[in-house]
Amino acid sequence: MSISLRFAIRWLSYPLVFGSCTAFMVWALYAGIPYWPTTLIVSAAGMLLIAGLERIQPFRRAWLEDHQDTLTDLLHMLVNLSVIQFTAEFLAELGDAVPASIRLFPIESPLWLQLLLVVAVLDLSLYVMHRISHPRWVAFGYFAKIRKSFSDCP
C-alpha cells in the first residue's frame, strides 16, 4: 500500500466518515426520513467502516493487539450511547414542556444552526466531563483510572 494511501487512511478516514455520516443525517432530517432506525443504521455503518480501516492501517499498531477488553469496550460504548440517547430524548421532552416565551433554544433558527449549537454544547460538555475525570478532582479520580485502563490514548 502506498505511503499516501496509508497517510490518508490514518489521518483522514475518521473525519471523512464522521463528516459523511453527519451530512447524511442532516439531509435525512430535512428530507423527513425517520430518525429511528436511520440513525442506528448510519452509525453502525460508520463504525464498521472505521473499524475496517483501522485494521488495514491502524493509527497505532499496539491498538490491534488483543487486550482481552472487547466486552468491556462494548459495554462502555453501549452505556455511553444509551446515556446520550436517553438524555437527548429527555431534553427534547423537557424542551416541549417549557413555554415558548421563556425558551432559550432558538427553535426558529435554521436546522443547520440548531445542529451547530447542539454540537458545540455537546462537545463542551464532553470536554468538561473529560477534564473533571482527571485525578486532581478527587471525587472523579476513580473514573480517570477506569478510562485510562480502557485505552492507550495519549
How far apart are alpha carbons 8 and 51 in whole angstroms?
Answer: 15
How far apart are alpha carbons 108 and 148 in whole angstroms?
Answer: 42
pLDDT, residue 119, reads 82
pLDDT, residue 42, reads 93
How far apart are alpha carbons 49 and 33 in whole angstroms?
Answer: 22
Which phi and psi angles does 57 have, rounded to 5°? -140, 90
pLDDT per residue as tens digits for the range 22-37: 899 889 988 999 988 8
pLDDT, residue 21, reads 92
- Spatial CA neighbour of 26 closest among 103, 88, 105, 114: 114
CA 18, distance to chain mean position in Å, is: 9
Report in angstroms the alpha-carbon separations of 116 from 6, 25, 43.
31, 13, 19
**Which comes out higher in pLDDT, residue 138 or 90?**
90
Residue with cell 473499524: 51
